[in-house]
Amino acid sequence: MAALDRLTECLSKLPGIGRRSAERMAVRLVAEPDGVLRELRAALDEAAATVRCCARCGGITTADRDPCRLCSSGDRADGTLCIVEQPNDILLIERSGGYRGRYHALHGKISPGRGEGPDALRIETLLRRVRAEGFTEAILALSTDMEGEATAGYLAELLRKEGLRVSRLAHGLPAGSGIVYSDPVTLARAIQGRVEA
């Protein structure tokens, strides 16, 4: 069943999808060739035709709007740049309502294990923007895993050399949770980063 294997292989390349989930998805798709498979093909065609990544920030935009709404808005704070890994991180931060500046999506993180160094990321574009758009502060909103930490360390050094103030998201307890649910590393960081009550 080579075609099923290829579909499984392809789905398992998507973020968060392991081999067995991919197989389950593939089988569901072929079990309903006139249902969800046809629907997915149409949705992919439509998305390929109309959705793009913004050439400036790397976030999601439509084919007829590049730079994107967030890059071209006159209503955002110009001095601050929030750097994220993936385009959908921008959507999540926008929904939080906690940020009003500009964005830059790297499309990945430094991952020596998978042979992905800084060259695979949108860092050249980042430096070009930093020089052209006059940012004074960069916020690194990256993963707190080892690869995210390595990427943050690399970028912090690079951006400080460009004269920017560089900060990172606070580590701490999630809202609506208690210390009983927290792991030791998070807890240690929350104590370190304590704020006046």
Omega before residue 67 within 30° of 0, cis? yes
Q: Binders of a copy of itself among 29-68, rule CB under 8 A?
A: 29-31, 33, 36-41, 43-53, 58, 60-62
Query: What residues contact 80, with CB distance under 8 A and at least 6 apart?
Result: 101, 102, 135, 136, 137, 138, 139
Sole binder of a copy of itself in the list 72, 73, 88, 177 (CB under 8 A): 88
Looking at the Cβ atoms of 16 and 115, the one nearer to a copy of itself is 16
Question: Could you give the angle at which helices 146-161 and 123-133 cross, rounded to 10 degrees?
Answer: 40
Distance between CA atoms of residues 90 and 84, nearest Å: 7
- Whole-number minimum distance, CB 33 to a copy of itself, in Å? 5
Which is nearest to 139 in space by CA: 189, 106, 89, 101? 101
Looking at the Cβ atoms of 30 and 169, the one nearer to a copy of itself is 30
Sole binder of a copy of itself in the list 19, 28, 100, 160 (CB under 8 A): 28
Instruction: State the residues that interact with a copy of itself by CB under 8 A.
Output: 1, 3-4, 6-7, 9-11, 13-17, 20-21, 23-31, 33, 36-41, 43-53, 58, 60-62, 86-88, 91, 107, 180-181
